[in-house]
């Protein structure tokens, strides 16, 4: 190591379940700093709307006959 110079950090990413910290900057022109990067959450699309059941062609057993009109 040369006087006044520090080696580049070896750990540049610290993972967590909901994201990670990433080390930014080059230490020369831009100081090093830690930046939080949230995890990309997969969001499932909403389910399609429920389709109501089709009306039966035949009336249920025991129902009155249709009125001719």
Q: What is the pLDDT of residues 42-67, one digit of tens each?
A: 777 888 888 777 766 766 677 677 77
Token pair 């995890």: residue? 39
Q: What is the pLDDT of residues 12-44, one digit of tens each?
A: 999 999 999 999 998 899 999 999 999 877 777
First to last CA, the chain: 101
Tell me, what's the pLDDT at 2?
56
pTM: 0.47
Question: What count of residues does the chain have?
Answer: 69
Is 34 in contact with 23 (CB distance < 8 Å)?
yes
* Residue 13: closest CA among 39, 41, 36: 36
Is 23 in contact with 37 (CB distance < 8 Å)?
no
Tell me, what's the pLDDT at 32?
93
């Amino acid at each position: 190591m040369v006087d006044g110079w520090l080696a580049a950090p070896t750990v540049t990413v610290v993972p967590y379940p909901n994201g990670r910290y990433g080390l930014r900057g080059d230490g020369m022109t831009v100081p090093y700093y830690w930046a939080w990067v949230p995890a990309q959450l997969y969001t499932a699309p909403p389910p399609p709307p429920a389709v109501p059941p089709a009306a039966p062609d035949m009336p249920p057993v025991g129902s009155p006959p249709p009125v001719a009109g």
